[in-house]
């Protein structure tokens, strides 16, 4: 425990910095440094609040003077700002953590009722509970479609929160590229066909294995492919391409090692240059009316980017409004297996 000297108490009251060149003359002085001769006391303010008190003492000559006071005051001003920022940051972190806990809690609580709505609606729609007419079938299908959207939103919100709080661990293992692309396309095939879009897979069969979390990479490919599907009009084309990239250079020209370079390309709406700059910010949705016609939350690309970065990969985009979009990303190769003797 450090005793509050009379001078410190006085400075806390008056909020004025003080220099006491000879402490033996100050009746309010309580010694904290053995043999102290002089002392400077400066209140460090944030607005009107005192955040801290800076006390400088010396037990040597020369004694502290008004010149030292002016210098120390300038230092204290800078330090005050840093202390105030650190306090705001600490408060923000606490607020942010409570927000994340709340989102996780709500997401978890919403899952059970949604699963139940989905199950009962699907059972009724399949005719399991008795014959239904066309209108009833159409209503039930609308319920199912909307529950699915809600479920995607809840999962995405949960993922964003986990990424923001660094709570999403990647389980990296060697993965073959072509099966990943096929697994991505299978559940989307019907929708894509429904929009008469043409899909091309362009990937050599002998690509080396990548080092990836299978489910998370499927999430990335699914996000990008379903965006290509959503933001491309009827009859457009979607291409999923993968190539070996021996040298994977980042924006600072650092080589991240060999990787597989994926491209998800479409011939759709494209993204304006202004929108491209905001693309990876959470909840971004273009104001392009045609893009807004599609359902979406503006969370997919934030999640996609974070997952790729967590793999040690890169993500970038090429797009021209009205002409189409290409999302590119890289995923490092799996480490070479150590040969057994």
Question: What does the binding site for ligand ADP look like in residue numbers (CB under 6 A)?
Answer: 223, 227-228, 231, 266, 268-269, 271, 279, 284-286, 291, 296-301, 325
Smallest separation (angstroms) from ligand ADP to the CB of 299:
6
Nearer to ligand ADP, 219 or 223 (CB): 223
Phi, psi of 37 (to 5 degrees): -105, -45
**CB of 110 vs ligand ADP, minimal distance in Å:** 18
**Residue whose CB is less far from ligand ADP, 72 or 301:** 301
Q: Which is nearer to ligand ADP, 49 or 293 (CB)?
A: 293
Instruction: Return the biggest CA–CA distance within the chain.
Output: 100
| Residue in 333, 32, 285, 308 with CA at minimum distance from that of residue 175 | 333
For ligand ADP, the closer CB: 220 or 242: 220
Token pair 């389980």 is found at 171
Task: Closer to ligand ADP by CB, 95 or 309: give it.
Answer: 309
For residues 211 and 216, which CB has a smaller minimum distance to ligand ADP in the complex? 216
Q: How far is the CB of 315 from ligand ADP (least distance, A)?
A: 12
Helices 66-125/134-164 angle, 10° precision: 160
Closest approach, Cβ 278 to ligand ADP, in A, equals: 9
Q: Considering just the CA atoms, what is the radius of gyration of the chain in Å?
A: 31
Least Å from the CB of residue 166 to ligand ADP: 20
Helices (H), strands (E): how many in the chain?
Answer: 9, 10
Give the nearest residue (CB) to ligand ADP. Answer: 296
**From CA 73, how far away is CA 64, in angstroms rounded?**
13
Contact 258, 244 (CB under 8 A): yes
145: phi then psi, degrees, rounded to nearest 5: -65, -40
Instruction: Return the exposure string of 148-172: e unless at least 16 CB atoms fall within 10 Å of the residue's CB, then b.
Output: eeebbbbebbbbbbbbbbeebeeeb
- Chain length of the chain: 341
Report in angstroms how near the CB of residue 270 gets to ligand ADP at its nearest: 6
Q: Output the six-digit token pair for 16.
A: 């004025």
């Amino acid at each position: 425990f450090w005793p509050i000297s009379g001078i410190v108490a006085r400075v806390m009251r008056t909020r004025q910095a003080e220099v006491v060149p000879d402490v033996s003359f100050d009746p309010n002085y309580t010694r904290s440094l053995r043999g102290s001769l002089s002392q400077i006391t400066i209140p460090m303010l944030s607005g009107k609040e005192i955040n801290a008190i800076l006390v400088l003492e010396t037990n040597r000559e020369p004694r502290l003077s008004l010149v030292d006071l002016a210098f120390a005051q300038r230092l204290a001003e800078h330090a005050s700002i840093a202390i105030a920022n650190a306090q705001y940051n600490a408060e923000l972190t606490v607020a942010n953590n409570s927000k994340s806990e709340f989102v996780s809690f709500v997401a978890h609580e919403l899952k059970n009722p949604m699963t139940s709505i989905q199950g009962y609606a699907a059972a009724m729609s399949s005719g399991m509970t008795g014959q239904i007419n066309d209108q009833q079938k159409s209503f039930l299908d609308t319920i199912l479609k909307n529950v699915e959207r809600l479920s995607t939103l809840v999962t995405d919100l949960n993922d964003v929160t986990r990424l923001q709080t660094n709570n999403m661990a990647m389980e990296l293992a060697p993965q073959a590229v072509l099966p990943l692309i096929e697994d991505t396309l299978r559940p989307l095939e019907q929708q894509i066909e429904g929009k008469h879009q043409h899909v091309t897979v362009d990937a050599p069969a002998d690509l080396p294995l990548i080092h990836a979390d299978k489910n998370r990479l499927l999430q990335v490919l699914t996000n990008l492919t379903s965006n290509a599907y959503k933001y491309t009009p009827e009859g457009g084309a979607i291409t999923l391409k993968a190539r070996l990239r021996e040298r994977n250079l980042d924006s600072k020209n650092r080589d991240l090692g060999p990787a597989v370079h994926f491209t998800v390309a479409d011939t759709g709406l494209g993204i304006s240059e202004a929108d491209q700059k905001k693309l990876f910010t959470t909840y971004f949705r273009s104001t392009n009316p045609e893009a807004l016609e599609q359902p979406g939350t503006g969370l997919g690309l934030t999640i996609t980017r974070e997952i790729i970065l967590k793999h040690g990969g890169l993500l970038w985009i090429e797009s021209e409004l009205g002409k189409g979009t290409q999302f590119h990303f890289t995923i490092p190769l799996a480490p070479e297996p150590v040969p057994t003797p």
